[in-house]
Structure 1
Amino acid sequence: MPSVIEPSRPLPVYFIGHAGVSLLFDESPKNRIVQDNLRAIGAEIRAISPRPKAIITFSGHFEAGEIHGPGVIEVNVKKGTYIMHDFVNDFHDSAPFVYDYEWPHEDAPGLATDVWKHLTKSGIKAKRVERGVDHGVWVPFKLMFPPENPLDVPVVQVSTFYDYDLESQIRLGEAVASLRNEGYLIIGSGMAVHSFSSLAEIRSAPSDEARELARQKVLAESRSFDTHLRVAVTKRGAVERKKALLELEKLPEFRRSHPTIEHFTPILVAAGAVGDAEVEPLGEDVVEPGMSYLNVRFT
C-alpha cells in the first residue's frame, strides 16, 4: 500500500509527449529515444519518497464531453477501469496484437471524488463520470511503469475543458495546484506538436519531389513551434510563463502544429499547476514532421 504521508514540499508536475500505440512496438531509432525518455521519467517518479498519494492525469484524449457544455470538467470515478484501445489508426490488419495489450493499474474512486470536491470548491464546474483509461495515459505509463517496476500508486483521471479558451486550461491547473501539497503528483500527457493534417499533406503530394518539399516545410514548422513552446514554458515566473504560452496562439505555426488543441492543452494545465516553479525539459529532443515529443519537469 503506498504511503499517504504528505510531502514536506509540493510534488513535481510533469508534461510528457505520449505518442501513439506504435510507441510500444516500433523499433526505429527515433522511437527508441522516445521510449528511453519516458522510461527515465518513470524511474524518476518511482524514486519519489514518500510515495505520492495518487497521480492526477490530464490527457490529450480526455476532453470534457460536449454534453456537459464548454465550462465543465469531468473526473473519472469508475472502479475497475478498463484500458481503452482508442487509436486513431486501424491496426486490425497491420498490428492486431495491440488490441490485446493490457496495463494493470490501481484506481481510487474515493480519491477521485476528493479531487472532484476540491475542484467544485475552487469554483470549477465539475461532473463525475465513469470511463476507461485512454491511450494518452496507459501507453506511456506502460513504458514508464513496466511489469517489473509497476506503478504502485493509483491514477485519478481528470479531463481538460472542451473548448478553445486556452486561458481556462491554465486556470484549471491553478485550481489543482494546492493538491501537490497533499501528496498528489500531476502529469499532463499531450504533445508539443500534433498534426495529422500535416502528415496527410505530405502523403498526398503528387510526386516524390513534392512529398520531400512538403516534408521539409512541415518539419520546419514543427521545429519552429517546438522551439517557441520550449522558450515559453521555461520562462521564469508564473506571470511571464502564462503570457508567453498564451501568445503562442498568435503564431502562424500554431494552427499548423495543432489543428485541434487537445494535445496542447495538457501543457497549459501543467504550467498552471506550478506557479513560479523552475522548469526543465527532459531527455533527448525528438521533433519530426507534424509531431514533437517534448517532456518537461516543473519543480
Structure 2
Amino acid sequence: MDTVYISHGSPTLALDDCPARDFLRRWQEFLPEKPKAVLAISAHWTTMEPSVSTTASNSTIHDFYGFPPDLYKLKYNAPGAPGLAKRVKHLLHGAGFHWVEEDSSRGLDHGAWVPLLLMYPEVEIPVCQLSVQPYRDAQHHYELGRALAPLRNEGVLIMASGSATHNLRTLKLDSSLPPSWATAFDDWLNECLVTGRFDDVIHYETKAPHAKKAHPSPEHFLPLLVALGAAGDGAKARRLHTSWAVSTLSMASFAFTP
C-alpha cells in the first residue's frame, strides 16, 4: 500500500462542486487496490500523547458550527477497527512510544469522514483513527510514521488528512487567486517531496518560505509527516491533485510509494 496525505479543506468539501471533491470521488482511479482497513491521522484529533480509537462502530462527529443544514445530515458510520488499533499500539510501543492511549468512544471527525465519504462511499471499510500531538515537533510525527510502516504490507491504508496550507485568518470567500506567500509554500512543499528532500520537510519551520504564515499552528501539517515516515526510507512522492479553496487553502494531495 502507498501512504497518502489528503488536504481536506472545509467540511463543505462533502457538498461543494469543486475540483478537490471531484478528485476524491475518483479516488479509486489513483489507488485501485481496496484496503482491508484505514488508519486515519486527522488534524482534528489532537492529544498530548498518541491515542488510538478502539470503537467497534464509528459514529460521525460534526465538529463544526454555522455550516449548511445539509452538512449535518451526512453520516459516515464506518465499522471500527479495534484489532488495528491494538496493532498500532503494539508497533508504537515497539518503537519506543511507551505512552499510547486508547479511546473507546471516539468517532470520526470531519478530517477523517469527509474525505472517506468521497473516497469510499460504500461505508464498509473498517476505520481506526490516530491522533496528532501539536505540542511535539515534525520529527516526532515522522518517527510515529516510521513505526507504522509494517501496516503497509498488511492491507492498511495510512491516510493522513490536513491541509497543505492552513491559515484561517486569510481566507477569502470570493474567487481571488492565491497570494504569493501561499503559492510559494505550496510550490516548495511539492518540490521537496517529489525530489526526495524529506529532511527539509521535517524541518519546514526553518526551511520553507512563509512557513509560519502558511501554518500558524502545525496540526494540519503534522499528519503529512506521519504518512511520509510510514512510507519508509527511499519512498517516492507524487502529487495526486492540486487546486485552491477560498483563496489560501491549498488542496494538494500526495501519495508516497515505498
Say whether the fold is shared (TM-score over 0.5): yes
Question: Where is the helix percentage greater, Structure 1 or Structure 2?
Answer: 1
Match of 1:76 among 45, 53, 76: 53
The one-letter code of the counterpart of 1:297 is A
Structure 1 position 101, deviation (Å): 1.2
Distance 1:273 1:144 in 2: 21
In 2, are the aligned partners of 1:197 and 1:259 still within 8 Å (CA)? no
Matched, 1:295 2:242: no
Match of 2:114 among 117, 121, 139: 139
Q: Specify the SS of the correspondent of 1:188.
A: strand
Tell me the equivalent position of 2:69. 96
Structure 1 position 179, deviation (Å): 1.8
Tell me the equivalent position of 2:25. 39
Distance 1:42 1:163 in 2: 35
**For residues 42-65 of structure 1, what are the alpha-carbon distances to aligned partners after superposition, in whole Å with 9 as ceiling and x for unaligned?**
4444x31xx53311111111122x
Structure 1 position 25, deviation (Å): 2.1
Distance 1:294 1:74 in 2: 26
Per mean C-alpha deviation after superposition, the further-off stretch among 96-105 and 36-45 is 36-45
Tell me the equivalent position of 1:106. 79
Matched, 1:245 2:201: yes
**Structure 1: unaligned runs, 5 residues or longer:** 1-10, 204-210
Match of 1:283 among 228, 241, 244: 241
Tell me the equivalent position of 1:229. 189
Matched, 1:126 2:100: yes
Distance 2:194 2:51 in 1: 29
Distance change (3 Å), C-alpha of 1:290 and 1:261: same
Distance 1:120 1:16 in 2: 27
Q: State the TM-score, normalized to the length of structure 1.
A: 0.78
Per mean C-alpha deviation after superposition, the further-off stretch among 17-26 and 167-176 is 17-26
Q: Specify the SS of the correspondent of 1:158.
A: strand
**For residues 167-211 of structure 1, what are the alpha-carbon distances to aligned partners after superposition, in whole Å with 9 as ceiling and x for unaligned?**
111111111012212222211111101110222xx68xxxxxxx9
Structure 1 position 26, deviation (Å): 2.3
Match of 1:195 among 167, 170, 173: 167
In 1, are the aligned partners of 2:162 and 2:224 still within 8 Å (CA)? yes
1:210-221 alignment runs, 5 A limit: 219-221=179-181
The structure number with the bigger radius of gyration is: 1
Distance 1:183 1:292 in 2: 29
Distance 2:66 2:139 in 1: 34
* Alignment RMSD: 2.2
Question: Where is the strand percentage greater, Structure 1 or Structure 2?
Answer: 2
Runs of 4+ deviating beyond 4 Å: none
Structure 1 position 152, deviation (Å): 3.6
Distance change (3 Å), C-alpha of 1:25 and 1:14: same
Structure 1 position 111, deviation (Å): 2.2
The one-letter code of the counterpart of 2:101 is K
The one-letter code of the counterpart of 1:271 is L
**Structure 2: unaligned runs, 5 residues or longer:** none
Tell me the equivalent position of 1:26. 16
Matched, 1:57 2:33: no
Of all paired residues, the percent bearing the same amino acid is 32
In 2, are the aligned partners of 1:23 and 1:35 still within 8 Å (CA)? yes
Structure 1 position 222, deviation (Å): 0.9
Structure 1 position 257, deviation (Å): 0.9
The one-letter code of the counterpart of 1:86 is D
In 2, are the aligned partners of 1:60 and 1:266 still within 8 Å (CA)? yes
The one-letter code of the counterpart of 2:254 is V
